[in-house]
Chain A
Amino acid sequence: MAQEESTRSSVFADVEEVSSSDEINKWARTARLWRETLKEHWSLLTDELSVRLSMLMVAFFVLVAIFAPFLAPNPPLERQYQTEDQILIEKWAEPSIVGGDSGYLLGTTAEGFDIFSQLIFGTRAALLVGIIAAVFTAGIGTMVGLVAGYYGGTVDDALMRLVDFLYGMPLLPTVIILVALLGPSLWNIILAVIILQWRATARVIRSQALSLRERPFVKAAQVAGASDWHIISRHLAPNVLPMSFLYGSFAIAWAILTEAGVSFIGLGDPNTVSWGTMLQASRAYSALSFGAWWWFVPPGICIGLLVISGFLIGRGYEEITNPKLQ
């Protein structure tokens, strides 16, 4: 050790040098600890019926999104012409599910698109928007919050002024303006949602980091000589992670709602089918006044189910993040 010249004896005087099984042990241990932690979280999470049902629901939508090309009987943006004379006849076809003999499970739109196929492909857009936006929202928000909270001072002031500035802007109207400026595409919607959504995560994580950095276990790591990055990644991040997950799962729901909202007012991606663009089209063709309920009710139900599932899982996670339950 450093004080070779000092005469005092060491607690570790007779610890023999490196045993080779050290490394192997460590990896096995780490893997086991992760498994146990995940299992514990999982069982806590799935303890509640509403969360279990929500997870089944999300899993169902995920499967649908993955296998969309196999499940959908028709391409979502292909007009259903009658074969012989190429005349568009399947307009407003009633759904066969309630006895219409059109052969289309949920009927067709005024433009002659197969609603069931659109619904299935719309799942892809919804999950894409929801998951990508949520990952980046939670990721950026967590990083910014940790850095601001841990370093404090000028860094914190600068980042939090930015967050305050973003908080001055209402979500949906600003996303609409951004998408109008950037051009209507699914990616621009996702980008706009991310730009506006990380603020909430950042603010919550920052306040957690602020209090965490004063906790003695962080002080103890500093005394041991830990670098800033070590403390942020090993001590702060694991302790705020449940909160990031929580905000992430809420962000899924918000992103899907926002996408639907933006698409509904006509700024959706014209080349992609989403539940929002379906609603928009149904409104454009006044489906409501024509009584073509099969056009707008299914996407509405799907949005509702997915969003509610997201919120319920978030709620369930909130209970895990409550340290009193641990």
Chain B
Amino acid sequence: MSHTTHDDALLQVRNLEKHFKVDAGWIASILQSVSGDDPDYVHAVDGVSFDLRRGETLGLAGESGCGKTTTGMSLVKLHEPTGGDIHYNGQSLNDATDAELKEFRQNAQMIFQDPFESLNPRMTVYDTVAEPLRIHNITNETARVQRALEFAELLPAEQYFDQYPHELSGGQRQRVAIARALVLDPDFIVADEPVSMLDVSLRAGVLSLLERMTDEFGLSVVYISHDLSLLRHMCDRLAIMYMGKIVEKGPTDQIIENPQHPYTQALINAVPVPEPNVGRERVELAGEVGDVIDIPSGCRFKSRCPDYIGDVCDQVVPPLEEKAHVEGEQAVACHLYESVDGTDPAEAFRQGQSVSASGDGPESTPADD
């Protein structure tokens, strides 16, 4: 596996898993415990590893349901991971003390997709933005709230103090949400499709606000979206997710211009390309996303993959690794390419089959976990 740990990694996500028990109701769960059946799990996030560096914007892309939101919520501890770990400033969150968790909470914030839902309808703008300060007993409330609102370009700030969310437009609400996320002066922010519910005309303003956060104040941002052209504009690096796993990650330009994974290629071809001279054939994403409860063996993309190369795809989970033919830190999870140490997965599989044991590390054992 290829985790080049950067010195300036703020967050290190290692093999993060979040499985949700399929809620079948209490009668079914009693029946299950009597009959000894295992309950079903939705494999929302299924072994994801990446670093978030200081001051960078990392994009998480992928189709609906691939686990982007679940990953983002796990990053800010809205979900307790069912496996793996997150390190914050080198400190594991799994065995963090209460005090450490509190400090983490002060430094991890999230902006949600729906600005109509992410503000309490019965709380004024002032109380909403001041709430994190009160929770963490931070003094100088009024001045800080005012500054946060000013940063979010809600001017004059005092005029917004006593307004209720229903008196604000969608764009203003999202700015209030941003002010609330900023008021604790966090290290990083997870922005889950922050403009997808806004009017197109309002998006640019909110986006430039998010850019100012990173440019002027060096915040790290995890930007979740399925709009690749937007991510291209916003992000330093990208991670492409499919069915709870990262299939490709690397610097944004490299991924957009030179996608390696067949899924990334399909995604990029599915979005309108802004430059007309970059001629690409358009591919519609055909087929259905696989079953997230009964995870298929081998590569999760195999049923939709145009480059399917037989048994190795069917049986071996492709590890996310750097490949021999791509420069830089781009990592791909696909058997098409030779890994950076020169092993050709398909070849190795054929040999492994004849020796009847393939020992390529944990990632490439057949997956029926």
Contact = CB atoms under 8 A, between A and B. Distances in A.
A18 B139 contact: yes
Contacts of B102: 225
Contacts of B110: 219-220, 223
B143 A15 contact: yes
Interface residues of A, number: 41
Contacts of A217: 117-121
A86 interface: no
A6 B220 CA distance: 12
Contacts, number: 122
Interface stretch (A19-27, A61-69, A143-151, A184-192): A19-27
Contacts of B140: 15-19, 22
Interface in A14-68: 15-19, 22, 25-26, 29, 32-33
B113 to A, nearest CB: 8
Interface size bracket, B side: 35 or more
Interface string B312-333: 0000000000000000000000
Contacts of A32: 162
Interface in B224-261: none
Pick from A10, A25, A225 the residue with the most CB of B within 10 Å.
A225
A321 to B, nearest CB: 12
Nearest to B219: A8
Interface string B107-121: 111101110011111
B136 interface: yes
Nearest to A239: B122
A168 B151 CA distance: 57
Pick from A11, A18, A235, A239 the residue with the most CB of B within 10 Å.
A11
A216 B117 contact: yes
A50 to B, nearest CB: 27
Interface stretch (B182-190, B272-280, B352-360): B182-190
Contacts of A239: 120-122
Nearest to A220: B118
B175 interface: no
Nearest to B164: A326
A29 B106 contact: no
A87 interface: no
B166 A19 contact: no
B73 interface: yes
A220 B180 contact: yes
A302 B55 CA distance: 72
Interface in B89-136: 89, 102-103, 105-110, 112-114, 117-124, 126, 131-132, 135-136
28 contacts: A3-B89, A6-B54, A7-B218, A9-B217, A9-B218, A11-B148, A11-B182, A12-B144, A18-B139, A22-B140, A22-B142, A215-B117, A216-B113, A217-B119, A219-B73, A219-B110, A219-B112, A220-B110, A220-B112, A221-B135, A223-B77, A223-B109, A224-B109, A224-B136, A225-B132, A225-B135, A226-B131, A323-B121
Interface of A: 1-3, 6-12, 15-19, 22, 25-26, 29, 32-33, 157, 215-217, 219-227, 230, 234-235, 238-239, 323, 326
- Ranked nearest first, the 4 interchain pairs of A and B with the lowest CB-CB distance are A8-B218, A225-B105, A224-B132, A216-B118
